């Protein structure tokens, strides 16, 4: 006879393993990466990130179709230019998803729950930045991977050169993801209301881009080419484009880039400063939120 019954066995103590700092940090990374794409949250949280990821893929797929049908390999987009072309979509992704990672837990006062546990402040910040960077990298790197694979399938010539450009493109994606992740999280962390956060990130990314390209145009018209190049460092997309153009063998996509390899190194240094600054600011912000 097989009778199954439910026994209330009362409270049981936990005798198993308790893992250390590395595991906790990894768990935070995975949790935040999932949150960036709305996983583990209701369906409506998944709509925006996945639609944007879909839109990111469309031009790559269309381009491959053109290359394949028209047999015109020169129509293949340069890998480093892809993210510059689609900066509006990437900006919207940053704007809608940065508040999810940066300000959601501050807004709902969940942060103290982390720091009343064995969670190190810096680990939380680094896990969030790494998770958002990875989310953005997935958003930007998958389309250019589609381009590269499509190029291989349609037998675009110079496959060795293509591979090099592709790797350069991946590096540029990673750099852009880091810079945008850093900027997005900082702006969102200081605008606790979600709507404001979205607006603030959009403002910082798009308005800075538009302003810089206008001023760059004016300076070029008046003949100040070098100045115009340096101005590109003031907005994230042309900043990363400068690194891609000067150091990673990409094509120039922004209005101008600072001159020479030195210009590329300077742009890279600005990227590093942005990321380090963001970590410092986020560290202070979450430390404060942990005491609320």
Partner 1 sequence: MPPIIATRGLSMRFPRVTALDDLTLAAPPGVVGLVGANGAGKSTLIKILLGLLPPSAGGAEVLGLDIARQGDQIRRLVGFMPEYECLPPDVSATEFVVHMARMCGLPPSAARERAADTLRHVGLYEERYRPIGGYSTGMRQRVKLAQALVHDPRLVFLDEPTNGLDPAGRDEMLGLIRRIGTEFGISVLVTSHLLGELERICDHVIVIDGGKLLRSQAVEAYTEASGVLVVEVDEGRDDLGRWLHERGVAVRPEGRLLVIDIGDETVYDLVRDGAAELELRLVRMEQRRHHIEEIFSVAPQNVPGPPGAPGTPGAQSRLETSAEELRGGAR
Using CB under 8 A as the binding rule, whether residue 105 contacts partner 1 is answered as yes
CB of 161 to partner 1, least distance (A): 44
Among the listed ranges 117-125, 167-175, 203-211, 236-244, the one in contact with partner 1 (CB under 8 A) is 117-125
Which position has the token pair 């958002």?
132
Using CB under 8 A as the binding rule, whether residue 11 contacts partner 1 is answered as yes
Q: List C-alpha distances in Å: 35 to 98, 99, 103, 106.
A: 10, 11, 12, 15
Using CB under 8 A as the binding rule, whether residue 19 contacts partner 1 is answered as yes
CB of 121 to partner 1, least distance (A): 10
Between residues 45 and 215, which has the closer beta carbon with respect to partner 1? 45
Per-residue binding letters, 30-49, with partner 1 (x by CB under 8 A): -x--------xxx--x----
Those residues whose C-beta lies under 8 Å from the C-beta of residue 69, and which sit 6 or more positions away, are none
Using CB under 8 A as the binding rule, whether residue 125 contacts partner 1 is answered as no
Among the listed ranges 12-20, 48-56, 70-78, 249-257, the one in contact with partner 1 (CB under 8 A) is 12-20
Nearest of 186, 210, 168 to residue 99 by alpha carbon: 186
Nearest of 268, 224, 225, 231 to residue 246 by alpha carbon: 268
Copy the structure tokens of residue 148.
């590269």
Whether the Cβ atoms of residue 122 and residue 229 lie closer than 8 Å to each other: no
Nearest-angstrom CA–CA distance, 281 and 125: 10
Using CB under 8 A as the binding rule, whether residue 108 contacts partner 1 is answered as yes
Among the listed ranges 15-23, 78-86, 91-99, 227-235, the one in contact with partner 1 (CB under 8 A) is 15-23
CB of 44 to partner 1, least distance (A): 9
Positions that interact with partner 1 (CB under 8 A): 10-14, 16-20, 23-24, 27-28, 31, 40-42, 45, 104-105, 108-110, 112-119, 290-292
């Amino acid at each position: 006879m097989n009778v199954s019954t439910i026994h209330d066995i009362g409270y049981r103590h936990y005798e198993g393993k308790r893992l250390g700092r590395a595991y906790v940090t990894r768990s935070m990374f995975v949790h935040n990466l999932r949150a960036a794409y709305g996983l583990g949250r209701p369906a409506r949280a998944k709509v925006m990130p996945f639609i944007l990821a879909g839109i990111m893929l469309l031009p790559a797929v269309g381009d491959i179709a053109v290359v394949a049908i028209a047999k015109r390999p020169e129509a293949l987009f340069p890998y480093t230019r892809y993210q510059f072309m689609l900066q509006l979509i990437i900006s919207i992704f940053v704007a809608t998803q940065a508040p999810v990672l940066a300000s959601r837990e501050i807004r709902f006062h969940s942060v103290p729950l982390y720091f009343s546990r064995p969670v190190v402040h810096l680990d939380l910040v680094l896990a969030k930045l790494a998770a958002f960077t990875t989310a953005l990298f997935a958003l930007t790197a998958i389309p250019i991977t589609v381009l590269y694979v499509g190029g291989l399938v349609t037998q675009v010539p110079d496959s060795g050169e293509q591979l090099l450009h592709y790797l350069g493109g991946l590096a540029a994606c990673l750099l852009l993801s880091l810079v945008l992740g850093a900027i997005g999280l900082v702006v969102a962390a200081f605008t606790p209301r979600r709507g404001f956060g979205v607006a603030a990130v959009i403002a910082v990314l798009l308005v800075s881009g538009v302003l810089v390209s206008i001023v760059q145009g004016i300076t070029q018209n008046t003949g100040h080419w070098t100045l115009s190049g340096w101005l590109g460092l003031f907005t994230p997309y042309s900043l990363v484009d400068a690194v891609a153009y000067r150091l990673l063998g990409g094509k120039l996509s922004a209005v101008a880039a600072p001159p020479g390899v030195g210009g590329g190194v300077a742009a890279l240094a600005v990227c590093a400063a942005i990321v380090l600054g963001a970590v410092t600011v986020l560290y202070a912000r979450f430390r404060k939120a942990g005491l609320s």
